[in-house]
Amino acid sequence: MHSNKDEANWLDVIAKPLLEHLPSLYPSEQWDAEMDARIEALLLENLTKGSIDQESYGMAIKAGLFLLNESLDKSHDIAQEITNTSGSYWHALMHRMEGDYSNAKYWFNDVGHHPIYSSLIQCVRNILTVKDLADLDNEALRSKLEVLITSPVWNPCVFIDAVELQVSDVQNAAVEKWLQQIQRYEMQLLLQYCYEQSCGGSLLEAIGQK
């Protein structure tokens, strides 16, 4: 049976530290093994306030928590069982982070236009401007980032291309930080959206109340 104490516990010891963490673009192992165990032990009823109807979004929260902890396989095991677009989104993010970029694009095509995209493109513009790219000497990566910034809508495939160029070739320290910040905000927005659908209300407000 769901209790407010159970919800307070996972918000404090799991969600809050993970939302403050900056995941790698290409993680090689989980960030925190103890955190993985905590996520593993989470019951779906504590992620849905006991509502069976919202189980798929509870699963999406759990997939997202694993991914924020850079535990790719465990996130994938859950995401591939979720039939809604948010499940497909976590699935796409996992493949991007493991370096399977073409598969990530396939799953983003399945996502279509997700409700978090409008907030995400605004985040990109707050983090990065065309002027910031002036000293970037890799033309291909600079071009991808310019498209990302100037596009009227979020383009997940262009972001994938930018991540691939950065990880596989350019490895520019400033670009790494920009892309990681965008990725973290993307994951935070998606986790918050899944929480809204599953539990109602704001995840950030719920954490702030604890």
Nearest-CA neighbor of 56 among 89, 15, 8? 89
* pLDDT tens per residue, range 114-136: 999 999 999 999 999 999 999 99
> Tokens representing 7?
């919800």
Using a CB cutoff of 8 Å and minimum separation of 24, what contacts does 6-12 make? 6/43, 6/46, 7/46, 7/49, 7/199, 7/206, 8/210, 10/38, 10/42, 10/46, 10/47, 11/203, 11/206, 11/207, 11/210, 12/207, 12/210
Query: What percent of the chain is predicted at pLDDT more than 90?
Result: 85
Q: Say how many C-beta atoms besides its own lie within 10 A of residue 43's C-beta.
A: 14
φ and ψ of 21, to 5 deg: -75, 145
The kind and range of the H/E element at 27 are: none
* pLDDT tens per residue, range 41-60: 999 888 887 666 689 999 99
Q: Say how many C-beta atoms besides its own lie within 10 A of residue 53's C-beta.
A: 8
What is the model's pLDDT at position 1? 45
What is the model's pLDDT at position 19? 96
Q: Are 194 and 86 in contact (CB under 8 A)?
A: yes
Helices (H), the chain: 4-10, 16-20, 33-41, 44-47, 55-68, 72-79, 85-98, 101-111, 117-127, 139-150, 156-165, 173-199, 203-208
